[in-house]
Structure 1
Amino acid sequence: MTVRQPAGRPRPIGARLRAGVVGAACCCALIPAVAQDTPARKALRVCQDPNNMPFSNTKGEGIENRIAELFGKALGLPVTYYSFPQRLAFFRNTLRFKLPGQDYPCDIVMGVPVGLDEVSVTKPYYRSTYALVFPKGKGMDHVASAEDFLKLDPAKLKALRIGIYDRSPASQWLNRHGLLEQGVPYKLMSADPAQYPGEIVERDLAEGKLDAVVVWGPIAGFFAQRVKTPALVVVPLKSEKGIRLDYQMAMGVRYGEREWKQQVEGLIESKAPEIQAILKEYGVPLVDASFGAPNN
C-alpha cells in the first residue's frame, strides 16, 4: 500500500464529508470534469481522506481501504492512495485534479452517495441510515426504534443531552420531534486536523458528557462497538417525509471513463459477499428500502 499526499498545495482541514450529512457533498454544484479512458492501469489509485475512520486512514484500516485492497487483488494491481481531507473541495483536489502534462493522482473514490453529481456514480453497494446511539442501563434499554424513543416519558426526553453534527439530517430530525433544545451541536467543519467524526461517540457519549447521539450509521456502528464500557446500543432510524436519513452508497469515477466504471461495477457485483462481510465486520447498520420515506 502506497500513500501519497498533495505536493505544493495547501491542505484545507475540516470535518469529514460523511460526518454530517453524507449528503453534505450534494451542496456543491461544480462542473464535472470529463476524462477519457486510459490504457492498462499499473495500480489501483484511490482518492481518500487520511483521517476519516471507519472509512479510511493513512494506515489502511478503514472499510474503504479494505474494499480497495479486495479490488486490487482481483485486478492483480497494487493499491496506492492519494490523501486529502474530505470537504467541499475534495473531488476537485483529488479525482479531478490534474496539472498540465501530468496524470490524475487517483482514479476512484470508494464511497459516495447515490445522486451525487460531481462524479460518475456507480451502482450502490450498500444502504445505511442515521442511527440513535445510547448507553445501556440509563433507562432506555427497551428502545428499539425511533417510536420507542419518542414515547419515553416527556420529562426524561426533556432532560437528555443529544449530540448531533450541525447542518445534518439529525438536527432536522430533532427539530421535527420538538427536541432541538436537547441537541448538543458539534461543528461539521473543524480547524483541528486530529478531529474525526467518531469522537462524538467514543469520547463524549462514552464518558457521559452526552446521553445519546444521532449520527450517520457507519460512524455509529463502528465506534459503538469499539466502546466496551458502557455498552452502547445502536438503533437505525427510518427516513420520514421531508427528512432523509437513509442513503445508498456507491463509488465514484470521472465522467467519460465508461469502461473503467463498468469494470468497477463488475467488481462491486462479483465481490458483493466479501464487501458485505467487511461492512458487517465494521458494525455498519445495513438497511433496506423500507427505511426510505415517500417523496424523499
Structure 2
Amino acid sequence: MVRSLGHLRWPLLGATLGLAGLAGLAAPAPAQTIAQSPPAPATPAPAPARPDDTVLRVCAAASQPPLSLKDGTGLENRIAGAVAEAMGRKVQFVWSDKPAIYLVRDFLDRRLCDVVAGLDTGDPRVLTTKPYYRSGYVFVTRVQDGLDLASWSDPRLRHVNHVAVPFGSPSEAMLKTIGRYEEDMAYLYSLVNFRSPRNQYTQIDPARLVGEVASGKADVAAPFAPDVARFVKASSVPLRMTLVADDAARGDGQKVAMRFDQSMGVRRGDEALISALDRALVKARPAIEAILEDEGVPTVPTGS
C-alpha cells in the first residue's frame, strides 16, 4: 500500500530534531549543615506492557483504493488478514486518514501499530520481511487499439496520444527519456486540477489513470500494476495490461527499474516480529497467491 517507496520517490518525511538551549552552568549548591534522613528507596519503574501476541496491529490508510480501504477489502488489507491468520492472530487495522506514504513516520515510528504492508523490499526506514510477491509497472491500453506495447524502447510510444503516468515514478522518468514529458506535462497536471506535486504529496488517482485510457483521452497509462489491476479488471471497456520489460534505461545508460519485490515492514530492532512474519508468509503463500490472482495483479518470481 505504500509505495513505498523504491518505485516512487518518497518525500523526506522525517522530522528534524531540535537541540535544547543551554542556560549556563549553575553555581554549586552550598554544603548541607544539618543531618538529613536517608532517601527512601526508589520505586522501580513499571515494566512496559507486554505486546498482545493475539493481535497483529497493522498500520493502514483508510481510503487508498484499491490497496487499502476502511472496510478491509483493499488488496493489502486482505493480504495482512491472511498473514495474521497464519500467525494465529486477529488482524487489527490502525487507520490513517493520510496517504499511505506517511504510515511509517506518523504511525509505525510512534508505536501506534506494528506492521506496514506493501513496502518495497529493503525500504531503509524499516526492517522488511522476505518478499511475498513481485510485480511491476504495466502498460494499460485498449484492446481495440491493438497496441501490444511491452517496452519503453518501443518507438510507437513517441507517436501515440497522451501517456498517463504517476508523478515521481519510473514511468515519469522514462516519459522524459523518450522526449514525451513536455508534450504530456499540461495533460498530466490537468488530472490533478493543476495542483503542483512540488513540496506536497500530489498523485493522480489510479482509477483516473485507467479511466483516461478507457475513455480514449489517453492511449497509454503506465502505472504500478497493484495500484490499478482491480480497475482494469472491472473496466467495461476491454483493456490490455502488460508488464513492462525490465530493460528501461535513461539517456545516460542508468537503469530505471520497472519491477519491485513487496514486503511487510516493522520498526528497526523488532527482529522477533520479523521472524514471526517470515514464518507466517510461508504458511500464507497459497492464500496470498489466490488474493493476487483474484485482484488480477500480474506477478513474476521474486528477485528476478
Runs of 5+ in structure 1 lacking a partner?
1-15, 98-103, 292-296
How far 1:163 moved relative to its partner?
Answer: 0.7
Give runs of aligned pairs for residues 116-195 of structure 1, distance below 5 A: 116-140=123-147, 143-146=148-151, 150-152=154-156, 157-183=158-184, 184-186=187-189
Distance in 1 between residues matched to 2:175 and 2:155, nearest whole Å:
14
Greater gyration radius: 2
The aligned residue for residue 237 of structure 1 is 244
Q: Which of the residues 184, 195, 213 maps onto 1:205? A: 213
Letter in 2 for 1:137: Q
- Structure 2 residue runs without a partner (length 5+): 17-47, 250-254
Contact 1:26 1:117 in 2 (8 A): no
RMSD (Å), alpha carbons: 3.0
Letter in 1 for 2:169: S
Instruction: Kindly provide the CA deviation profile for residues 123-165 of structure 1, in whole angstroms up to 9, marking residues without a partner as x.
Output: 111111111101111242xx15227x8243x8xx424111112
TM (normalized to structure 1)?
0.76
Say yes or no: does 1:283 pair with 2:287.
no
Counterpart-to-counterpart distance in 2, 1:20 and 1:260: 21
C-alpha distance in 2 between matches for 1:30 and 1:253: 19
**1:222-246, Cα deviation, whole Å (9 max, x unpaired):** 2111102x10100111232421111
**Matching residue of 1:54:** 66
SS at match of 2:107: coil
Which runs of structure 2 are paired with 1:48-127 in the superposition (5 Å)?
48-84=60-96, 85-86=98-99, 88-97=101-110, 104-127=111-134
Percent identity of paired positions between Structure 1 and Structure 2: 25
Amino acid aligned to 1:124: P
Q: Specify whether residues 109 and 37 from structure 1 end up closer, same or farther in structure 2 by C-alpha distance, changes over 3 A only.
A: farther
> SS of 1:185's equivalent?
helix
Structure 1: distance between partners of 2:4 and 2:213: 16
Q: CA deviation at 1:286?
A: 0.5
Note closer, same or farther for the CA distance 1:290–1:151 as it changes in structure 2 (3 Å cut): farther
Q: Write the letter of the residue equivalent to 2:239.
A: L
Indicate conservation of the 8 Å contact 1:125/1:249, yes or no: yes
The alpha-carbon distance between structure 1 residues 77 and 179, as it changes in their structure 2 partners (threshold 3 A), is same
Q: State how many pairs are aligned.
A: 256
- What is the CA-CA distance between 1:118 and the residue it aligns to? 0.8
TM-score of the aligned structures, taking structure 2 as reference length: 0.74
Q: Deviations over 1:231-287 (max 9, x none)?
A: 010011123242111111100011111111100000111211211111111111102
